[in-house]
Structure 1
Amino acid sequence: MTGRATPGRRTVLASAAGIPLVVGAGGLAALAGLATGCSGGTPAAADTPHPTPPAVPGAALRARAATDSTALLARYDGLIAARPELTARLAPLRAEVARHAQAFGAPAPKPAPAGTTVTTVPPTLGTLADAERRLADTRATALLDAPPELARLLASMAAAGAAHVILLTAKG
């Protein structure tokens, strides 16, 4: 008897592994193999598993949608800067695109400084409508692989983009 009130490490390991406490030559090697992994204290930091945060379904898709909305917002700002006479017509659509960006997690957008063109494409209503159309199509396609809540948001934003195309290409 060793005078311990609690079972020792070898006893616990042996019983957990199903090795009889009266060990023969083969059992002693198995017991030694089990005991070598123990450090006697708390596990080292390298041995402690670090829990990885659970992946948020659709996080990458949501981030991409936020980036796309922010880029579209820059196109609105570029056209408004280049053609200030269109401000009244474009302001409600721009405000909606800004809300879309925020719904996808982008920070609250700030308008571009007056007189600056943000895009390299010469801004026209046609190029803006094309950008809206491409983004609406991209979102309609992306919603097929999105989790349900994000799919509903993408569908809503795709529909809004399609409506923007109609408003941007309407005469008058």
Structure 2
Amino acid sequence: LDAVAVFQPYSRLVIDCNRPPEAFDAIPAVSDGIKIPGNQEVNIADRTARVAEIFEPFHAEISRRLDEGRHTVAISVHSFTPRMNNVWRPWDIGFLFRLDTDTSTRLRDSVTRRYPRLRVGMNEPYQVNDSTDWFVPRHCEARGLNNSLIEIRNDHLRTAEGQKRWADIVASSIEDYLNGN
């Protein structure tokens, strides 16, 4: 793909860069019933530092790239756990959207055509909304960009082979989208 990628190297448990920084769970004290030791006593200064050192530079770079004016389809790729709060999540991949249904639908159609055995969800395992999301509302919808937030089940990404396979799956679906397929 001839694309720009902006990576976030920090775990969402340090600060979730796809949530508004003021959201109560942007720095979760507990995740899936497990206490996060480094987040048990986060004070205002700690939160402010994480926002300034991690959240803001990441989103400033995304904004800088999007504001370059290139023809852009904005894709955000995340991973999710197979089980959360004792609920099994059967999807291999999910395409999340809110206003722009077309981009996620076309990406999904490509994946199901090329990989018919995969379990594909639409707005699964999450749904996009202003209180729990940042990328789609703040970067994409605010600029009128075609967009999709892709979630890959993280047990598929544990090995180098799995990472390569899923990179190929996502890249091929984006190529199909860009080629009008």
Report which structure shows greater RCO (CA 8 Å, sep ≥6).
Answer: 2
Please say which structure displays the higher CA radius of gyration. Answer: 1
TM-score by length of 1: 0.29
TM-score by length of 2: 0.28
If each structure's helix is expressed as a fraction of its own residues, which one has the higher value?
1
